[in-house]
Structure 1
Amino acid sequence: MTMQKTPLLMHRLMDRGALLQPDVEILTATADGARSQTMLETRNRAHQLAHALNDAGVQIGDRVATFMWNGARHLEAYHAVACMGAVVHTLNIRLSPVDLEYIINHAQDKVVIVDADILPLFEKLAGKIPSIQKIIVAAEPGFENWSTSLPNTVDYEAFIAGQPTRYQWPEIDENSAMGLCYTSGTTGKPKGVMYTHRANYLHTISIAMTDVMGLSATDSLLGIVPMFHANAWGLPWVATMLGMRQVYPHRFMVPDHLARMLMDYDITISAGVPTIWQGVKGLMEANPGKYQFKALTRLTCGGSAPPPSLIEWYWDALNVEMVQGWGMTETSPLATISRRTGKRKHLAMSDAERAHNQAKAGLPIPGLEIEIFDDKWNVLPHDGQSFGELLIRGPWICSEYFNNPQPDKFHDGWLITGDVAKIDPDGYVIITDRSKDLIKSGGEWISSVDLENHIVGLAGVAQACVVAHPHPKWDERPVALVIKKPGVELTREQVISFCESKFAKWQLPDDVLFVDAIPLTATGKMDKKVVRAKLDADGYKLPDQR
């Protein structure tokens, strides 16, 4: 062997930006502007956090959870926890207390860092998460005087105060765990995806490539996609590696605030789900000339497919490329990318032809293999017509779930994505349907089966079927069809109120329809395809669309 066997560990990337661009800003939105710190200060604070966590008993492999918005302290946690050999476990702040309790206990988190403004949400877990030994509270301006009934709490600044600004990162196996994110993208309990240093290192370098996100040390990033959602699509890692200017919105997620940040901080690239960009578009159309995005060149859009009209509007109105990415928690998450010009021959294409390509899920990122299979695991042709189960494999693809292997989700070294797709002769992946009856709303998954199982627990309910119905803003919203037991009086409001005991607000059904029967397949299963088709044929509209 003639090459050095240097382990692919994240500390080799995460300290780089501060070394090369120490004065570049990291900004966190506040009520009256933004809190600023330099890349070097952020690096030093991450090292201090690592020392403090080590003193608190956090060892290699331990899970440290975050319950936080996007901000500089969340970035410090990414940096410190992963590089010290522990595992940064990002908790979705939108989940219900029931799901959070299960996830924290399943992961056996040892420490959790919580933003002070959402501390009341975390207090709902009091007495239910015995593995948590310490709660570190991070307070942005206006929340410094936080208080809580939770035990073993400490202020973030007090926790890291006086610690050295240099931590000796351990040299561990590159296949060691460094990140953990739970997905509820299939039925049943949430499942953990454990990211390794090697996988995340390769994903980080790959997504910076010109034909992927085309990221540069000269970029200014507005990080909208949540840092608790699939590694924020990998952007905090790559931005810190390159020394990019990073701007984080924290709790200020309304279109007006986001638009002002895009304008005021010379943002060149941002990332978010389609509903974010639909909101910004609507704001700009309602206020012509108010917002000028002079530096912005591209927006990354994922979570669900953006409408072609949205892609075209950003290009025609702002000369901004909407880069569509497809992936999932299990793929770290980026797997395919769709750019305005993805191949040399696209240079000769018309704007309409390029927009048509952009609406596809995209081309596989180098290093990954993607195929479609029939129900007997035969590979299907890439003819743009044949569709089958979409499978993927590669160095940053999940091979099993954390402490829950679920071999039926994998096949012969491939991850079964749960999507049905076509692949065209140019290699573009085109998602056509989902193999499971999941509901994707605002970029987040909602399990129809979990809702059904809960609703049938309500007295007077004989059967329940939950399906997705299209929504212009959220992509899809859940609708529940309920068969009542004979002689029972039941209202829409009672069903939704019953669901509130377990599910977060955004997971609740938008509507409840009382029916006499639910169509069944030949094997006795609820035929949701028929249910959805009948709703469409009847001209059904969701309550807020009537």
Structure 2
Amino acid sequence: MSDFLIPRTPSAYDYQLLIKNLLFCPAVDNPDQEIVYRDQYRGSYRQLRERVRRLARLLTDLGVKPGQTVAVMDWDSHRYLELFFAVPMIGAVLHTINVRLSPEQILFTIDHAEDDVLLVNSEFLPILDQIRGRIDTVRTYILISDEETGAKSSMVPFVGEYEELLAQAAPEFEFADFDENTRATTFYTTGTTGLPKGVYFSHRQLVLHTFGVLSMLSTVSDHGSFRRDDVYMPITPMFHVHAWGMPYVATMLGVKQVYPGRYLPEVLLELKEKEGVTFSHCVPTILHMMLKHPHAERIDLKGWKLIIGGAAMSRNLCVDALKRGIDVFTGYGMSETCPILTFSQLTPEMLELPPEEQAAIRCKTGLAIPLVDLRVVDADLKEVPRDGVTTGEVVARAPWLTQGYLKDHKTSERLWEGGFLHTGDVAVRDERGYLRITDRSKDVIKVAGEWVSSLELEDLIAHHPAVAEVAVIGQPDEKWGERPLALVVLKPAAVGKSSEKEISHYIRETADRGTISKQVVLAKVKLVQAIDKTSVGKINKVALREKYL
């Protein structure tokens, strides 16, 4: 087909899809709009652009060259936003280190990514001191500190502190053009088995993901929208899939941005009230913590648009949020997909339904966003019927999916078997195109030859008024093959009053009404103090199996 390519005038500008154009050619140019970090920094987009230039000058003066890797260990802050732009804009790779991993896992990711420069918040110096002598690649360390005395107790040879170095750097920098397929970011999936796996994304992929998400969120009238008059605050770590890519979307829209640092419910709620936050995203656990915090009782949460992802949102939690006036809806994706593939936005007719009926839709996985070819397929990669009943694996194609795992050809081929990215999620799709994840392929439970969805059983048990949190895993059984084991954390007020027998009776009553598979009556209920989570707040079912089986 090369004979049919458009002719190109030699002097025509070859416009590449580079991250710098999200900053310098935004949808809304709003130089005086605010960018806030807790109560410690209040700047503007004009300052953001200058600080990005200074940071680029600082890094290049320190010897960072295109293709080298700059890593960061920090909480969500204005500094992290500056790194989101400056590092890839000089042709280097930004490695966002998951600070919730163990020291040994962090050491693995630093060496595996071949980090050249490491910026580290003073809070994480104890971790760095544990592994410093075994880091093979890093040659330059920069301290990030909210306190003037942050580095006194460390033996790390820092070249200086971030703000001081930035102030000394020249405010001019010309960002060169280069191929849009240049790698921009690397981070590591937290995983629940084995070593973390590195995923990576190019400038082109991040730009297209930004446009895909923006087009889905900005075309609706109000519900689930993200527009220039919104105030944005991430409640998903910036080290995790670029905070779902939303800081790039927010910057392109020129909206006020609020960065909360470490996620403490009282701080998040106070910032929401003080700064007028209207748009955020988080995992269900964080939403639950915020709604149950005493501060939530005195704060008006009405009109807060909140994407929930990372784990299934229960209908009970959704209804609680809706009753507080929160416009909550599901977003779906995974580390390998940059991450967003779908949103569960409602039509105007659906918004007229009662909260309980809306919740059933808002908790679905939703509709694919533009440019996403999303399919539910059988073992032969043939699409299953869109009948809301027939299950299959979710596979995808989109211009922003990771092209593989870093230095792991074998696992990369399995990820992309048959030319589709395999999510490992089991789902059904209805006639309107709405996707509903029923389970992870590795988490479905086979009881007497019948498949039981652990997610559906979790959602059922979460509706019990005494239940604060629940996780369901499969338990080997000689008679039935497997049977569900429901691990339940009670609400504080229910401790000592509700029992395993009471919740088992509740499951049996629901099954008798025919709203869920009869096989769930075989579920065993166990009351526990807490449920293990991964570093990004997801229920860690591998750890739960090891602990309780």
Quickly name the TM-score band, shorter chain normalised: 0.7 to 0.9
Is the 2:37–2:77 Cα contact (8 Å) retained in structure 1? yes
Corresponding residue of 1:72: 78
Counterpart-to-counterpart distance in 1, 2:337 and 2:482: 28
Shift of 1:282: 1.1
Is the 2:200–2:405 Cα contact (8 Å) retained in structure 1? yes
- Which segment is superposed worse, 329-338 or 410-419? 410-419
Counterpart-to-counterpart distance in 2, 1:476 and 1:12: 43
Counterpart-to-counterpart distance in 2, 1:365 and 1:68: 31
Corresponding residue of 1:402: 406
Q: Deviation string for 1:136-158 (max 9, x for gaps)?
A: 11111465564411234421123
Is the 2:234–2:259 Cα contact (8 Å) retained in structure 1? yes
Corresponding residue of 2:523: 537
Is the 1:399–1:413 Cα contact (8 Å) retained in structure 2? no
Corresponding residue of 1:488: none
Corresponding residue of 2:183: 177
Q: Deviation string for 1:199-246 (max 9, x for gaps)?
A: 100111221222585322221111221001111011111111221111
Counterpart-to-counterpart distance in 2, 1:250 and 1:283: 18
Q: Percent of aligned pairs with the same residue? A: 32
Letter in 2 for 1:11: K
Question: Is 1:358–2:362 an aligned residue pair?
Answer: yes
Shift of 1:528: 6.5
Show structure 2 runs of 5+ residues with no match.
Answer: 1-5, 445-460, 487-518, 532-549
374, 379, 396: which is aligned to 2:378? Answer: 374
- Which segment is superposed worse, 42-51 or 118-127? 118-127
Question: Is 1:247–2:258 an aligned residue pair?
Answer: yes
Question: Is 1:227–2:242 an aligned residue pair?
Answer: no
Counterpart-to-counterpart distance in 2, 1:530 and 1:56: 56
Query: Under a length normalisation based on structure 1, what TM-score does the superposition of the two structures give?
Result: 0.78
Query: 1:197-208 maps to which residues of 2 (within 5 A)?
Result: 197-208=203-214
Counterpart-to-counterpart distance in 2, 1:282 and 1:243: 32
Shift of 1:193: 0.9
Corresponding residue of 2:314: 307
Q: Deviation string for 1:145-202 (max 9, x for gaps)?
A: 6441123442112332332223211211111110111113363221111111111001
Question: Is 1:292–2:296 an aligned residue pair?
Answer: no
Corresponding residue of 2:31: 22
Shift of 1:376: 3.0
Letter in 2 for 1:256: E
- Which segment is superposed worse, 81-90 or 34-43? 34-43
Letter in 2 for 1:114: V
Query: 1:436-447 maps to which residues of 2 (within 5 A)?
Result: 436-437=442-443
267, 271, 294: which is aligned to 2:277? Answer: 267
292, 315, 318: which is aligned to 1:282? Answer: 292
Shift of 1:104: 1.1
Counterpart-to-counterpart distance in 2, 1:170 and 1:186: 40
Counterpart-to-counterpart distance in 1, 2:300 and 2:352: 30
Counterpart-to-counterpart distance in 2, 1:164 and 1:476: 53
Is the 2:394–2:422 Cα contact (8 Å) retained in structure 1? yes
176, 185, 199: which is aligned to 1:193? Answer: 199
Alpha carbons of 1:411 and 1:111: their partners in 2 closer, same or farther (altered >3 Å)? same
Show structure 1 runs of 5+ residues with no match.
Answer: 439-469, 482-517
Is the 2:33–2:44 Cα contact (8 Å) retained in structure 1? yes
SS at match of 1:381: coil
Shift of 1:25: 1.4
Counterpart-to-counterpart distance in 1, 2:351 and 2:102: 48
Is the 1:393–1:414 Cα contact (8 Å) retained in structure 2? yes
SS at match of 1:26: strand
Is the 1:181–1:194 Cα contact (8 Å) retained in structure 2? yes
Query: 1:202-217 maps to which residues of 2 (within 5 A)?
Result: 202-209=208-215, 210-211=218-219, 214-217=225-228
Counterpart-to-counterpart distance in 2, 1:379 and 1:521: 34
Is the 1:105–1:129 Cα contact (8 Å) retained in structure 2? yes
SS at match of 1:372: strand
Is the 1:18–1:39 Cα contact (8 Å) retained in structure 2? no
Shift of 1:129: 1.3
Letter in 2 for 1:408: R
Is the 1:16–1:240 Cα contact (8 Å) retained in structure 2? no
Is the 2:143–2:158 Cα contact (8 Å) retained in structure 1? no
Q: Deviation string for 1:257-297 (max 9, x for gaps)?
A: 1111110001111111111111121125x764x21246x43
Is the 1:373–1:389 Cα contact (8 Å) retained in structure 2? yes
Residue-pair matches, total: 464
Shift of 1:123: 1.9
Alpha carbons of 1:351 and 1:473: their partners in 2 closer, same or farther (altered >3 Å)? closer
Alpha carbons of 1:141 and 1:247: their partners in 2 closer, same or farther (altered >3 Å)? farther
Corresponding residue of 1:132: 138
Corresponding residue of 1:48: 54
Query: Under a length normalisation based on structure 2, what TM-score does the superposition of the two structures give?
Result: 0.78
Counterpart-to-counterpart distance in 2, 1:100 and 1:202: 30
SS at match of 2:388: coil
Is the 1:219–1:268 Cα contact (8 Å) retained in structure 2? yes
